[in-house]
């Protein structure tokens, strides 16, 4: 008896499989959109300050130049040469001198857009400490006004009130945030990622025999594929004779039927050097550092190095120091009795020596001014 051919008992036939070509398929993988660095402090510090030479140098230049500017203290119109506030800024705590302390403050401002300071008082001794921006958050009241900063997480979390005898938040202007500042490095994020990607591409190019990746195509006139023996021999010859930086540039001898097909752009096609220089200029621009001071080619904004150096102090360093001086004065003055005003000594800045000498020469030639008027013009009290 013939068995019924029930549908559920049918065994599906295996699909016909064509003979696969082991060596005749090339797969290209492209990424549809760019990858960008996260916009938080750890990522910006890691990808910018720690892995990018241009951003690292810009932050160091601005922070070190601003930290080296000497402080002046006034009570009304009288300059105070000795005062506990000056001593505190000269030695903020047992671990850091004044220049190192201010360098950390300016570094946090440039990388995070925020800097947090804490005043600690114990047994009539005071210390200043810098708090890391990624470990500090602003706490607000019911109306949304900032009243304190929270440091740490969980059980280690502590609240420090904002104001005298507490904490101070320094922040750069942010158009879309009421409580946190905007980091200059974040404005140059596209240029930063471009510069880092160009460096990684160069390194990968050197690791891959200093030539763009490509494929060996076997296309004989009569068709066919390489045999296993031919394939293994060709692979061994490529690995032994053409891999590594020491063998870069060695000509490749191809047998009949083999052809080299490049699968990428050459450094010349990509104009990689100019792309890196353009990204470097954008990073320097975000930090306010003239590219001429960094040795970046293609920038002739200033006539000479001295002009660029003077512009660096006048347009970047001194405005940052002045902003910090006003904030520190408002924060620390009530603790030390009030009526105190911090400012900076422009005469002690070596970068402005040429400008200072030109001013003195003009005043010395001004015969219509008295000696006391000349002294007041350069910031000194009259002799009488």
The string of pLDDT tens digits covering residues 216-253 is 666 665 555 667 777 777 777 766 665 554 555 555 55
Q: Range with the lowest mean pLDDT among 37-41, 146-150, 282-286? A: 37-41
pLDDT at 37 over 70: no
Dihedral angle at the C-alpha atoms of 308, 311, 315, 318, nearest 10 degrees? 110
Task: Read off the tokens for 324.
Answer: 């910090």
Strand partners, 78: 75
Whole-angstrom distance, CA of residue 192 vs CA of residue 196: 6
Name, of 114-128, 211-225, 249-263, 336-350, the range with top average pLDDT: 114-128
Q: What is the dihedral of CA 30, 32, 34, 36, to 10 degrees?
A: -110
**Share of residues in the chain with pLDDT > 90 (%):** 35
Domain range annotation of the chain: 36-211+266-344, 214-263, 352-384
Rounded CA gap, 254 and 219, in Å? 12
Instruction: Give pLDDT, residue 100.
Output: 94
Taking each helix axis from N to C terminus, what angle separates 305-312 and 353-365, rounded to the nearest 10 degrees? 90
If one counts every other C-beta atom within 10 angstroms of the C-beta of residue 126, the result is 19
Q: Which of 3-7, 13-17, 207-211, 338-342 has the highest mean pLDDT?
A: 338-342
Nearest to 88 by CA among 336, 334, 319, 347: 336
Residues near 284 by beta carbon (within 8 Å), at least 6 away in sequence: 54, 58, 290, 291, 294, 296
Report CA-CA distances (Å) from 65 to 57, 100, 347, 348: 12, 11, 14, 12
Sign of CA dihedral 106, 111, 115, 116: negative
pLDDT at residue 146 above 80?
Answer: yes
């Amino acid at each position: 008896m013939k068995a019924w051919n029930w549908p559920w008992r049918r065994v599906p036939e295996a699909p016909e499989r064509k003979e696969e070509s082991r060596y005749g398929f090339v797969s290209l993988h492209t990424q549809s959109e760019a990858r960008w660095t996260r916009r938080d402090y750890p990522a910006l510090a890691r990808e910018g300050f720690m892995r990018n030479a241009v951003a690292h140098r810009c932050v160091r230049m601005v922070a070190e130049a601003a930290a080296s500017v000497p402080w002046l203290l006034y009570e009304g119109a009288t300059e105070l040469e000795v005062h506990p506030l000056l001593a505190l800024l000269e030695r903020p705590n047992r671990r850091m001198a004044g220049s190192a302390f201010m360098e950390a403050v300016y570094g946090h401002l440039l990388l995070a857009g925020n800097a947090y300071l804490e005043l600690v008082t114990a047994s009539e001794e005071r210390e200043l400490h810098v708090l890391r921006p990624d470990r500090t958050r602003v706490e607000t009241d019911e109306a949304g006004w900032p009243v304190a900063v929270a440091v740490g997480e969980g059980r280690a979390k502590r609240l420090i009130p904002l104001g005298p005898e507490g904490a101070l938040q320094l922040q750069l202007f942010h158009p879309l945030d009421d409580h946190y500042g905007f980091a200059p490095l974040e404005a140059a994020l596209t240029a930063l990622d471009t510069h880092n990607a160009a460096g990684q591409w160069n390194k990968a190019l050197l690791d891959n025999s200093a030539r763009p990746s490509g494929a060996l195509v076997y296309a004989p006139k009569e068709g066919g594929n390489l045999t296993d023996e031919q394939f293994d021999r060709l692979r061994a010859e490529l690995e032994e004779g053409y891999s590594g930086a020491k063998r870069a540039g060695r000509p490749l001898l191809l047998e009949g039927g083999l052809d080299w097909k490049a699968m990428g752009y050459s450094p010349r096609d990509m104009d990689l050097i100019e792309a890196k220089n353009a990204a470097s200029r954008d990073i320097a621009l975000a930090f306010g550092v003239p590219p001429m001071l960094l040795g970046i080619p293609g920038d002739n904004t200033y006539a000479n190095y001295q002009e660029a150096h003077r512009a660096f102090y006048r347009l970047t360093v001194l405005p940052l120091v002045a902003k910090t001086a006003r904030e520190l004065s408002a924060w620390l003055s009530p603790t030390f009795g009030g009526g105190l005003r911090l400012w900076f000594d422009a005469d002690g800045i070596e970068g402005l020596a040429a400008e200072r000498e030109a001013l003195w020469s003009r005043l010395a030639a001004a015969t219509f001014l008295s000696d006391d008027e000349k002294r007041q013009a350069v910031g000194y009290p009259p002799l009488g």
